Structure 1
Amino acid sequence: MKKFVVVTLFPEVLDCWLNASVIGRARGNVFDVKYVNPRDFSTDNYHSVDDYMFGGGSGMLMRYDVLKPALEHAKAMSTNPFCLAFSAGGRVLKQDMCQEMSEYDGDIVLMCGHYEGMDDRIMDDVDLELSIGNFVLSGGEVAAAVLMESIIRLLPGFVEKPINVQKESFVDGLLEEPQFTRPRVYEGKSVPDILLSGHHERIEQWKREQKLKRTLLQRPDLLLSTHLDKKDMQQLKQIFQELEDVKRAIFSGQ
């Protein structure tokens, strides 16, 4: 069973999410989460965990003399821990990293900053700095929730049919194809006829073409790092030709 140890000032934020829906049902069976609160390692009468920044600057920074013992305690609670801290300058989270961490033979320790962030010296004590995107949050708890869910759903026993996870966006470097359910027609919008044809080979071919088209139009950057076979390249050429035809049709009357 995968175990996460989260160093956080606000464990209740994570517990609201961890006890809900399919994640809540998997807790205790597929994974477990323990908390370490840095405030428990503060030594002053006020149990303070932050202070003003040397050199000036707005906001308060979490202190190294509180973070370090909290992290050491989290490591002591873990087996073969892999420690990471959430940071704007860290590696951006991607699906292949989630896969690697789901397969890691050990526990995962997550450092959640708050206020203006953490004293930078704590970064020398972790294995990885991680970012979940180019935006700013008030604390690392939401980032920890994102990371844990992306890992948990890949763990054995989380889903009844693992193949459902294997076909999702980013697993093969592409976005998923458009998907539909009942009713077949609603307010004039209909499900593509091919999906109701019963011809499985053509359906799979359509799905692959739609994955390539959607990725090209919405996330073309993904195609630069995705393995494409000869058939994929032929489909992409056809898609480019269709787009060129539309372009000519639009601008021919101007």
Structure 2
Amino acid sequence: MRFDVLTLFPVMFESPFAVSILGKALEKGLIQLHAHNLRDWAAGRHKVTDDMPYGGGAGMVMKPEPVYAAIQALRQQSPGAQVVMMTPQGKTFGQDDARALSAQSGLIFVCGRYEGFDERIRSMVDVEYSLGDFVLTGGELPAMVMIDAVARLLPGVLGSSGSAEGDSYADGLLEFPHYTRPADFQGMRVPEVLLSGNHEAIARWRRRQQLQRTLVRRPDLLESAPLSSEDMALLESIRRELAEEPA
């Protein structure tokens, strides 16, 4: 899969993607990452990409001409790619979005700076995303996060084909707890069921932990999670047990 990033600071994308899982994916050719300097498409000797806002106000606004020219050029290099704008006004990015984007042939990320984009730039993109209700200095960090979330879902990127399937949000619920050696660390013991070798019992324990952790920490997820009748019965049992616990 090809990732293109349109930014004023392409150097920001060098180190984060040179190491670990995504670094290996790049080496193997499983993904491609190209960070482009927006100034390459700006006109004039000074390659200006921003200007003062009409109507006055603080800050500078990113100009539409270089962004338009850049997107047109990148669409030629990556036909069929979806153009993604990073903006606090966009849809909150989630695991379902990562999964949907991973099915695309390519993604072009448009990273803003300064006070924001000229409004006409919105007509040039396919989708707008935000990481949450907060503001960063630019769209580069959100783009990195989204690339990481999408790339790890691609075939071969993770060492195990099942690694992504057990993640939090993969099935609408939070992930179950994980343990490794030693079995006893400063009096904190690994649950006996995980040492039993009984895979059916382990699967039941993990599902119960998923449901309980989601109920306690993110009950809102239960409204849309695909729960079976067994899940619903187990969830009701968990609710009763939690209600009986001393405050």
CA drift of 1:50 comes to 1.1
Q: Does 1:90 align with 2:80?
A: no
Q: Spell out the pairing of 1:1-254 with structure 2 (5 A cutoff).
A: 2-28=1-27, 29-104=29-104, 106-246=105-245, 249-250=246-247
Please give the alpha-carbon distance, in whole angstroms, between the structure 1 residues aligned to 2:57 and 2:213. Answer: 44
Deviation at 1:219, TM superposition (A): 0.8
Q: Deviations over 1:205-232 (max 9, x none)?
A: 0100000000111111111111111111
Q: Distance in 2 between matches of 1:185 and 1:117?
A: 52
% same residue:
37
Encode CA deviations 1:62-107: one digit per residue, 9 max, x unaligned. Answer: 1112211122112121121211101111111111111111122x22
SS at match of 1:86: strand
Find the aligned partners of 2:70 and 2:57 in 1 and give their Cα distance: 25
TM-score scaled by structure 1? 0.93
1:174, distance to aligned residue in structure 2 (A): 0.4
Q: Secondary structure at the match of 1:88?
A: strand
> Is the Cα contact below 8 Å between 2:50 and 2:61 reproduced in 1?
yes
Residue aligned with 2:172, SS: coil
Which secondary structure state, in structure 1, belongs to the residue aligned with residue 142 of structure 2? helix
CA shift, 1:134, in A, is 1.5
In 2, Cα distance between equivalents of 1:20 and 1:54:
43
Q: What's the secondary structure of 2:115's corresponding residue?
A: coil
Is the 1:172–1:226 contact (alpha carbons within 8 Å) kept by the matching residues of 2? Answer: yes
C-alpha root-mean-square deviation of aligned residues, in Å?
A: 1.3
Deviation at 1:130, TM superposition (A): 0.9
Indicate conservation of the 8 Å contact 1:36/1:74, yes or no.
no
Matched position secondary structure for 2:162: helix
Which residue identity lines up with residue 230 of structure 1 in the other structure? S
Contact 2:114-2:137 within 8 A present in 1 as well: yes
Q: What is the one-letter code of the residue matched to 1:13? A: M
- Summarize the Cα distance change of 1:21–1:160 in structure 2 as closer, same or farther, 3 Å threshold: closer
Give the distance between the partners of 1:179 and 1:81, measured in 2 at CA.
37
* Structure 1 residue ranges (4+ consecutive) displaced by more than 6 angstroms after TM superposition: none
Query: 1:45: how far off?
Result: 2.5
- Aligned counterparts of 1:97 and 1:112: Cα–Cα separation in 2: 18
Structure 2 spans left out of the alignment, 5+ residues = none
- Cα deviation for residue 125 of structure 1 reads 0.8
CA distance in 1, matches of 2:91, 2:224: 16
TM-score by length of 2: 0.95
Cα deviation, residue 55, structure 1: 1.8
**How many equivalent residue pairs?**
246
C-alpha displacement of 1:19: 0.9
Contact 2:7-2:36 at 8 Å conserved across structures: yes
Following superposition, the deviation at residue 170 of structure 1 comes to 0.6
